[in-house]
């Protein structure tokens, strides 16, 4: 892929991801004026529960599909996809059984009624189906189709939520129902395309199931650790402070997510390009990639600080009076997202080496340390402590991944600073 194609694909992924991230952002002025912080906090906790359930519903095997697509000469992709969907169905049933046993405990910890926790499983199920198709389109370098599907979901999500909350005057239940209906609708469309493009087979293969699980299961600790880093702050705010504080905190998180989406979008285009380069790379190309990465580091940090200044000016316009204090912690959230974007750039080397178990160890260690430090910070400094804890956790994850990436794929991180090179 040429440099022009890299940035063109990055632009498409960025626009589509911003469309999805833009839904909660565009709804902020409406929801923060129609809902109180407590109701907004329940929505935030539901999102966190969906993220946790998604780790076990499907067990990350949609990632295996995209990896095996690159080896499609050795794998029958339709059979692999069908085998992966069997994993999805089985894990979903097991999750329903688990909730029937532990639902009351989860409800007490999250402030979400049990019946809505079952809805979270359905949302996770539909998300996985959509992710399968998106992974195939990304692996086959079809960013335009990827973007159209993501945009369609964003429109359905936003329109449905507005209709349920504004027109039918529902509270947090309207937002959650809008999420469910949007994901269900797009999952139906995704299933249609999987069938039309012959990415589904009538048979499954036990060997493919084992292969997919060998990819996904080792990533469970990594995903849990990542979730601890990304969302444990919200859980602790809800537990230590209250659900209203969670609502205010999540407003700052959603504003900071704009930078996170920008980083994620660029990485979606950069990662396939980097994988191709690493397969047969020269020392000179290594230096160019490293210098480009350093430029990226500087740029994303600059965007974080600029975003913090601009956010202070826009907060009064974006959110209702009860949520204004979100502006006080926005800068810490943005810096944390900058570290997250830097993490994306270095973790690609670990995925290239297929030593994903290293990421699992790293995220579990950093996640545990972040939980402990955030607990003390929240007790001492409230919402500001939670935001600082998030920032520290993302910084630790980036630095750890950077060290591990150089163990997996040595790159001239120091030598490149003294050599003139640009990305080609």
Q: pLDDT value at position 247?
A: 87
pLDDT above 70 (res 419): no
Domain ranges of the chain: 35-217, 220-424
Q: pLDDT value at position 244?
A: 87
pLDDT above 70 (res 90): yes
CA separation for the pair 284, 288 (Å, rounded)? 6
**Residue pair 132/65 in contact by the 8 Å Cβ criterion:** yes
- Mean pLDDT value of segment 254-258: 84
Q: pLDDT value at position 421?
A: 44
CA separation for the pair 177, 161 (Å, rounded)? 7
Q: Which residue has the higher pLDDT, 208 or 166?
A: 208
pLDDT above 70 (res 406): yes
CA separation for the pair 79, 65 (Å, rounded)? 11
CA separation for the pair 268, 275 (Å, rounded)? 12
Q: Which residue has the higher pLDDT, 14 or 345?
A: 345
pLDDT above 90 (res 53): yes
CB atoms within 10 A of CB 250: 27
Would you state the structure tokens that stand for residue 400, as one six-digit string? 């750890």
CA separation for the pair 178, 161 (Å, rounded)? 5
The predicted-structure confidence for 219-234, as pLDDT tens digits, reads as follows 787 777 777 767 778 8
Q: pLDDT value at position 330?
A: 92
- Mean pLDDT value of segment 335-352: 90
Position 129 confidence tier, pLDDT thresholds 50, 70, 90 = very high
Q: What is the pTM of this model?
A: 0.74
Q: pLDDT value at position 327?
A: 86
Q: pLDDT value at position 318?
A: 82
| DSSP designation for 319 | S
- Mean pLDDT value of segment 136-140: 82
In Å, how far from its chain's centre is CA 388? 20
| DSSP designation for 322 | G
Question: Within 13 A of 68's CA, how many CA atoms are on the CB side?
Answer: 25
Q: Is 283 exposed, middle or buried (0-12, 13-18, 19+ CB in 10 A)?
A: exposed
Q: pLDDT value at position 187?
A: 96
Q: pLDDT value at position 120?
A: 96
Q: pLDDT value at position 155?
A: 86
- Mean pLDDT value of segment 363-384: 89
In Å, how far from its chain's centre is CA 168? 31
- Mean pLDDT value of segment 160-178: 87
Report the candidate in 157, 380, 351, 339 with the shortest Cα–Cα distance to residue 268. Answer: 351
- Mean pLDDT value of segment 135-148: 82
Q: Which of 90-99, 142-151, 273-282 has the lowest mean pLDDT?
A: 273-282
Q: pLDDT value at position 96?
A: 96
Helix or strand (DSSP H, E) at 78: helix 77-110
Phi, psi of 414, rounded to the nearest 5 degrees: -95, -45
b/e map 313-335, b = 16+ CB within 10 Å: eebeebbbebbebbbbbbbbbbb
**What's the mean pLDDT when you consider all of the chain?**
85
The predicted-structure confidence for 261-278, as pLDDT tens digits, reads as follows 788 878 877 887 787 788
pLDDT above 90 (res 298): yes
Q: pLDDT value at position 180?
A: 95
């Amino acid at each position: 892929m040429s440099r022009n194609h890299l940035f063109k694909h990055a632009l498409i992924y960025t626009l589509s991801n911003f469309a999805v991230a833009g839904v909660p952002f565009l709804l902020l002025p409406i929801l923060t004026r129609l809902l109180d912080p407590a109701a907004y906090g329940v929505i935030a906790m539901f999102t966190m529960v969906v993220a946790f359930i998604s780790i076990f519903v499907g067990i990350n095997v949609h990632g295996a599909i995209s990896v095996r697509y690159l080896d499609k000469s050795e794998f029958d992709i339709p059979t692999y996809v069908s085998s992966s969907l069997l994993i999805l169905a089985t894990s979903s049933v097991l999750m329903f059984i688990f909730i029937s046993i532990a639902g009351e405990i989860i409800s007490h910890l999250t402030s979400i009624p049990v019946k809505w926790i079952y809805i979270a499983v359905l949302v996770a199920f539909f998300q996985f189906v959509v992710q399968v198709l998106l992974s195939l389109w990304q692996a086959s370098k079809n960013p335009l189709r990827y973007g159209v599907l993501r945009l369609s979901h964003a429109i359905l999500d936003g329109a449905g939520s507005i209709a349920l909350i504004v027109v039918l005057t529902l509270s947090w239940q309207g937002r959650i129902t809008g999420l469910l209906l949007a994901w269900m609708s797009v999952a139906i469309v995704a299933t249609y395309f999987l069938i039309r493009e012959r990415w589904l087979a009538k048979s499954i293969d036990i060997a493919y199931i084992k292969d997919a699980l060998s990819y996904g299961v080792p990533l469970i600790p990594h995903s849990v650790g990542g979730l601890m880093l990304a969302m444990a702050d919200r859980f602790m705010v809800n537990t230590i402070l209250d659900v209203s504080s969670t609502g205010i905190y999540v407003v700052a998180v959603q504003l900071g997510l704009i930078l996170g989406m920008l980083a994620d979008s660029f990485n979606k285009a950069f990662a396939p390009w980097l994988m191709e380069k690493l397969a047969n790379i020269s020392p000179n190309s290594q230096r160019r990639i490293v210098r480009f990465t350093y430029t990226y580091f500087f740029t994303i940090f600059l965007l974080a600080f600029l975003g913090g200044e601009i956010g202070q000016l826009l907060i009064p316009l974006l959110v209702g009076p009860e949520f204004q204090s979100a502006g006080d912690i926005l800068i810490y959230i943005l810096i944390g997202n900058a570290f997250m974007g830097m993490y994306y750039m270095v973790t690609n080397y670990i995925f290239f080496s297929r030593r994903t178990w290293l990421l699992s160890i790293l995220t579990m260690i950093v996640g545990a340390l972040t939980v402990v430090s955030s607990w003390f910070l929240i007790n001492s400094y409230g919402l500001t402590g939670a935001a600082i804890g998030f920032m520290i956790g993302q910084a630790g994850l980036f630095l750890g991944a950077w060290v591990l990436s150089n163990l997996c794929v040595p790159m001239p991180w120091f030598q490149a600073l003294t050599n003139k090179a640009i990305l080609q």
